[in-house]
Amino acid sequence: MEQILSIQSAVTLGFVGNSVAGPVITHLGHHPLLVDSVTLAAHPGYGLVAGDKIPDDIFSSILDALPSLGALPHIGAVITGYLGAPSQIDPITKLITAWQAERPKGHYVLDPVLGDNGRIYVDKGLVSAMRDQLLPLASFVTPNQFELQLLSGLDVHDIASADAAALHLLDQNPHLNGVVATGISTPQGRVHDRLIGRYDLVDLAYAKRAAGISGGGDLLTVILTSWLAAGMSFKNSFIAASGQAHDIIDQSTGHLEIALLENLHRLTPITKTASTVKLDGLA
């Protein structure tokens, strides 16, 4: 068991952000440490926005308290996802820098929740702050097609351009071990999740759905991080995360977000002896 610190949004109703991270990390045998960046009644897909970002002083005081509480050596991995404002970047940067000094072999997984389908849905200042401060600290980053374009500054419109953008991020960020580019669309009606690492390249292809389902990217990132925290390879962690996330998404048709609790049993248990996982969809 490892402690996994997850810094992202939380909702009272439904499953996105930390409302995904908590159950999944626990189910996969780890201990979740959850810090909410925003707290909402439900994700905006419900058509009602109620709630707000955590006030800066409270958010910073929680992160600042973790070193004082002696928590950092026990944290095996950190996830950051949806953030409420650029002002949250500095305290996160400070915490991760201190944590990496304590756990240099820990994994920081950056899920850059910035937008989709050509639309930025956060404060635009978060794009540059995340790119300039958090990305250089990350071990792995999990952008969708549009977020990969925002982070790299390169046009991403197909598999080849996604690979070029991912390689650009690896070239610009020596600490980064790999990019998981999700939802890369092709004219053949498929979407691809691709692992672009310094030593591995893996492609998993799926039938394109009529519409996206909220929480799917959060789920993939949490599964990936949980497997990495258990000592699994980046390749096997990616294959597990992509396949199992898409399996649960497929069971969530007709929902506004992933149908998580009734499908937790679909998550493959992590074992130290696991050397291969289901490869359905491997192209």
In a domain, 279, yes or no: no
In a domain, 278, yes or no: no
Among 28, 55, 23, 26, CA closest to 39 = 55
In a domain, 170, yes or no: yes
Residue in the block written with tokens 């702050």: 129
The Cα–Cα gap between 249 and 238 comes to: 16
Range of the domain at 14: 3-266
Residue in the block written with tokens 């080849």: 160
In a domain, 271, yes or no: no
Taking residue 118's Cβ as centre, other Cβ atoms within 10 Å add up to 8
| Res 281: pLDDT | 36
Kindly report the backbone phi and psi dihedral angles of residue 87, in degrees, each rounded to the nearest multiple of 5, phi listed first: -65, -15
List the 51-53 sheet strands across, edge first: 51-53, 31-42, 3-13, 75-80, 107-110, 140-141, 178-185, 190-197, 201-207
In a domain, 215, yes or no: yes
Among 200, 167, 279, 229, CA closest to 21 = 229
Q: What is the number of domains present in the chain? A: 1
In a domain, 28, yes or no: yes
In a domain, 276, yes or no: no
In a domain, 277, yes or no: no
The Cα–Cα gap between 147 and 190 comes to: 19
The Cα–Cα gap between 146 and 107 comes to: 24
The Cα–Cα gap between 242 and 248 comes to: 10
Per-residue pLDDT of the chain (283 residues; tens, 9 = 90+): 899 999 999 999 999 999 999 999 999 999 999 999 999 999 888 888 899 999 999 999 999 999 999 999 999 999 999 999 999 999 999 999 999 999 999 999 999 999 988 889 899 999 999 999 999 999 999 999 999 999 999 999 999 999 999 999 999 999 999 999 999 988 888 899 999 999 999 999 998 876 778 889 999 999 999 999 999 999 999 999 999 999 999 998 877 889 999 999 999 888 754 544 443 333 3
Provide the CATH number for the domain around residue 190: 3.40.1190.20
| Res 283: pLDDT | 34
